[in-house]
Amino acid sequence: MPTQDQEKRGRNFDEVALGYTKEQAIEEAKRCLGCKKPECIKGCPVEIEIPAFIELVKERDFLVAIRKVKEKNSLPAICGRVCPQETQCEELCVLGRKDEPVAIGRLERFVADYEMENSSQPIDYSPQSINGKKIAVIGSGPAGLTAAADLAKLGYGVVIFEGLHDTGGVLRYGIPEFRLPKWIVDREVDYIRDLGVKIEVNVVVGRTLTIDELFKDGYAAIFIGTGAGLPYFMGIPGENLNGVYSANEFLTRCNLMKAYLFPEYDTPIKIGKRVAVVGGGNVAMDSARVALRLGAEEVYIIYRRGHKEMPARKEEIRHAEEEGIIFKILTNPTKIIGDEKGWVRGVECLRMELGEPDESGRRRPVAILGSEFVMEIETIIIAIGQGPNPLLLQTMPSLGLTQKGNIVADPEGRTSMERVYAGGDIVTGTATVISAMGAGKQAARAIHKDIEAS
């Protein structure tokens, strides 16, 4: 897919990956074999009828194609941009055995963008008659949005309660503008509102309202999609020095609060000349690329395992490399060094080598004795993962949790509490947008089934 010029893009917040033109889209669509038993669909957690929508692209029926997609997926412009297609639908495409798989994600993005540009009217979904039952959804991330959309389509009155002042969860506060422009999130959330879903922002369930109150208020079921929003720190000396951010703080300031537009926007962000991001996942790549765009001169990724073991998407790693992010692999920070005023001046690291595979199947990093060295750094961003936010769960003592504090739920989202369902990162730990959406879809189905049966 075409991308924005490498030189320029590392310094602006415009979208990096540019979309297909009509002609490019049709060319790509023509490669699809329209398999009778399409393997690709098995790789899509929200079950899009992939060959059917691609067929419509071939026929230049773009607006019908997007309707086909939206039968199953309420957030197509988002998924087309941030789904790890290479391990989802595209991994299973038969063409991929010999050649490149069909670029399903890009085609999905194309039809979604085409609709935004070419029809002002939202596609009329004609939801079924309202059945008089209402469902509460907690959290407006991809899991909550999908559960809400599907339940609304089934005729339920759905209210989403969101703790922040804006919708989207990680789509809004985590994934940066240049990967997922926020106006796209706005448009897709508006579509979900058009389906009849009500969204109440500024409501922290567990503080502003409780689960018991929601049931008393007449909600027939509750879906919890509160995500994995608790930042982990490394527990090494110096982590509270000025200049150390969690990735969540750094990205939230920048994305949700638009600190990259300071002082036009009030929330500040401070970035040093030399920045180190600790971690090797998507969150680390995003943080590094944001730091670069905020004006850092040198940005490092410090990761304790090897290149191959990095959990980030290949495409994101490539984009980061192209933009000039420097990778310090097999390196583990042991201490953050500060000056007398409490500001970060450097980070002490140990070199690592790869040992035997650990329980995750990746080779375990082992420290090389005596290999300490110091990097001069002014800003450190810690992106080593997130856990479940306990705020709501502490108010629900009878809800079954795993040792790590995630909600225990069956594959259809049923929890240990009657009429309480859950899905997305709060159940699985940090995963993907599309897996959270798949969980939202399953839970919506289960809620409907259980209500019908009762």
Partner 1 sequence: MFKILTKKIMVPSIKLFEIEAPLVARKALPGQFVILRIDEHGERIPLTIFDYDRARGTVFIIFQEVGKSTMQLGAMEEGDLLLDLVGPLGLPMKEERDKKIVCVGGGVGVAPVFLKARSLYENKNYVISIIGARTKNLLILEEEMRQVSHEIYITTDDGSYGRHGFVTEALKEVLEKNRPDLVLAVGPVMMMRACSEVTRPYGVETLVSLNSIMVDGTGMCGCCRVMVDGKVRFTCSDGPVFDGHLVDFKELMSRQNRFLEEERIASERFIQMCRKIERCDN
Ligand X SMILES: Cc1cc2nc3c(=O)[nH]c(=O)nc-3n(C[C@H](O)[C@H](O)[C@H](O)COP(=O)(O)OP(=O)(O)OC[C@H]3O[C@@H](n4cnc5c(N)ncnc54)[C@H](O)[C@@H]3O)c2cc1C
- Where along the sequence are the contacts to ligand X (CB under 6 A)? 82-84, 138-144, 161-164, 169-170, 174-175, 204-206, 225-227, 229, 251, 282-283, 286, 389, 391-392, 424-426, 430-434, 436
Q: Applying CB under 6 A, which part among 97-105, 181-189, 293-301, 419-427 lies near ligand SF4?
A: 97-105
Structure tokens at 320: 């980061």
Report if residue 268 touches partner 1, rule: CB under 8 A.
Answer: yes
Q: Could you tell me how far CA 157 lies from the centroid of its own chain?
A: 26
Structure tokens at 276: 């180190």
Indicate the burial class of 121 (C-beta count within 10 angstroms; 0-12, 13-18, 19 or more).
exposed
Q: Could you tell me how far CA 431 lies from the centroid of its own chain?
A: 8
Question: Which entry of ligand X, ligand SF4, partner 1, none binds 39, CB below 5 to 8 A by partner kind?
Answer: ligand SF4
Q: How many residues comprise the chain? A: 454
Give dist(CA 129, CA 126) in Å, integer.
Answer: 9
DSSP H/E element including 105: helix 104-118
Q: Which is nearer to partner 1, 170 or 420 (CB)?
A: 170
User: Does residue 263 have a cis bond before it (omega within 30 degrees)?
Assistant: yes
Rounded-to-10 torsion of CA 320, 325, 331, 334 = -110
Report if residue 108 touches ligand SF4, rule: CB under 6 A.
Answer: yes
> Which residue in the set 73, 74, 88, 246 belongs to the binding site for partner 1 (CB under 8 A)?
246
The 342-381 site mask, x for binding partner 1 (CB under 8 A), equals x---------------------------------------
Report if residue 400 touches partner 1, rule: CB under 8 A.
Answer: no
Question: Which entry of ligand SF4, partner 1, ligand X, none binds 138, CB below 5 to 8 A by partner kind?
Answer: ligand X
Give dist(CA 160, CA 199) in Å, integer.
Answer: 5
In sequence order, the 6+-apart residues with CB closer than 8 A to the CB of 398 are 416, 417
- One-letter amino acid at 167 equals T
Report if residue 172 touches partner 1, rule: CB under 8 A.
Answer: no
Structure tokens at 53: 């929508």
Report if residue 93 touches ligand SF4, rule: CB under 6 A.
Answer: yes
Q: Applying CB under 8 A, which part among 75-83, 137-145, 201-209, 306-314 lies near partner 1?
A: 201-209
Question: Which entry of ligand SF4, ligand X, partner 1, none binds 75, CB below 5 to 8 A by partner kind?
Answer: none
Give dist(CA 21, CA 91) in Å, integer.
Answer: 24
Give dist(CA 116, CA 84) in Å, integer.
Answer: 23
Q: Interface residues with partner 1 (CB under 8 A)?
A: 163-165, 201-204, 207-209, 229-231, 233, 239-240, 242, 245-246, 248-249, 252-253, 257-258, 262-270, 341-342, 389-391
Q: Interface residues with ligand SF4 (CB under 6 A)?
A: 32-35, 38-40, 44, 46, 48, 50-51, 73, 79, 83, 85, 88-89, 93-95, 102, 104-105, 108, 434
